[in-house]
Amino acid sequence: MRVKRVSLVLVALLVLLPVFLLAISGCNFIDEKLLPALPFRDEKPSSSALSSELPPEFDILIEAWRILSEDYIDKDELDPQKLSQGAVKGMIEALDDPYSSYADPEIHKLELTTFQGKFQGIGAVISMRDKQLTVVSPIAGTPAEKAGIKAGDKILEINGEPTAKMTLIEATFKIRGPKGTEVRLLILREGETEPVEVRIVRAEIEVESVIYEMREDIAYIKITHFLKPTGRELRDALEEAIAEGAKGVILDLRNNPGGLLNAAAEVASQFLAMGIVAKVVDDEGGRSVVPVKRGGIATHLPLVVLVNEGSASGSEIVAGALQDYGRATLAGSKTFGKGSVQLVRELSDGSAIHITAYRWFTPFDHPIDGVGLTPDFVLELEGEELVDWAIDYLKKQIGASASLARI
């Protein structure tokens, strides 16, 4: 069996997420008039413009600083930068939004290193679910997977420190660290009542975006994340598969936490002749659409999409569009349910805030956030068993189609 590994790439900052790759993952958008063109938006608002727009309730910040500077006993300990950063952090935490967070300059600098093509950590994707730090999926072949980390695991402590009051970013960078060092995670498994401690030695993680192989006359394509080159690499894989006589496609999105929305749109567009990939709603209720890009080369090949509870955000965008249009059969288990999008805005001191700015829906207006997608075939099969099921299903579909053609 010949296996072609199409690329080795790192997951950049995911706005969709942030589900955070231990590194970080992200999603940007197509319509630059309505949506961010890059995962990081570096324009900084004018301080003079902002000061004139502040509501009177913000006067207490100035009052608090004045009182501290006059009455605090250890005035030499008053650090204006530290205090202002604490105020911003508190402001974001007061939103009570698990996906909005504050990153101090040091953490934000670490975020930017995620774009270098590799990172050091345990190799898992985490998010917030019901205000608990939750594993979306381990990355295949990484220390996290080898240690038995599973999708749905709740992380209660990191090196003995409770995660209850940690932001997603803080937790991410407490788990990340130099390769060869150890991190201790207190994990509560789904269906269990007693947590267990898992010790994991960090390593250098490289993330494969697209993996392709032929299984007889069926093309099996696994997409691990949606990155900038993913659409092109998928097209290359499909062109090769078609040249080799592929009669059907299995698109495996299990444990794919998402990535760039542009890349997700390009993937969906290889299988859709027309229509839209998703609808996006902004903070004022304004709606825009992410259109299908014409020219897809696999718009008529029978298609099965595999999903599970680790399929999030960009994966749900692709699977939701293909399901809405009846273009693909979804099989597996219910998806994660990540349908909000975060912008990362840098502040003048080098820190940044991650803010939920958009929510997206499937082409037929089905909500995803907190809901997820229910497959056409809900199956308890995992690993290769589900792939084998998909191959058998496609062969029956292909056989039925061939019989009809002979009538």
Active site residues: 313, 324, 338
- Residue 224, classified by CB atoms within 10 Å of its CB into exposed (0-12), middle (13-18) or buried (19+), is buried
DSSP 139: P
- Residue whose C-alpha is closest to residue 366's, from 332, 334, 324, 333: 324
- Residue whose C-alpha is closest to residue 391's, from 254, 248, 270: 248
Residue 295 CB contacts under 8 Å (≥ 6 apart), including other chains: 269
Q: How far is CA 71 from CA 20, 61, 75, 76, 184, in A?
A: 42, 15, 8, 12, 42
Pairing mode of beta strands 329-332, 210-215: unpaired
Instruction: Assess contact for 255 and 233: CB atoms under 8 A.
Output: no
CA dihedral (17, 308, 279, 361) in degrees, to 10, reads -90
- Residue 128 φ then ψ, to 5°: -105, 130
Instruction: Assess contact for 27 and 316: CB atoms under 8 A.
Output: no
Element spanning 39, H or E = none
Instruction: Assess contact for 290 and 45: CB atoms under 8 A.
Output: no
Sole residue written with tokens 């080799």:
244
Task: Please state, in angstroms and rounded to a whole number, the distance separating the CA atoms of residues 99 and 19.
Answer: 8
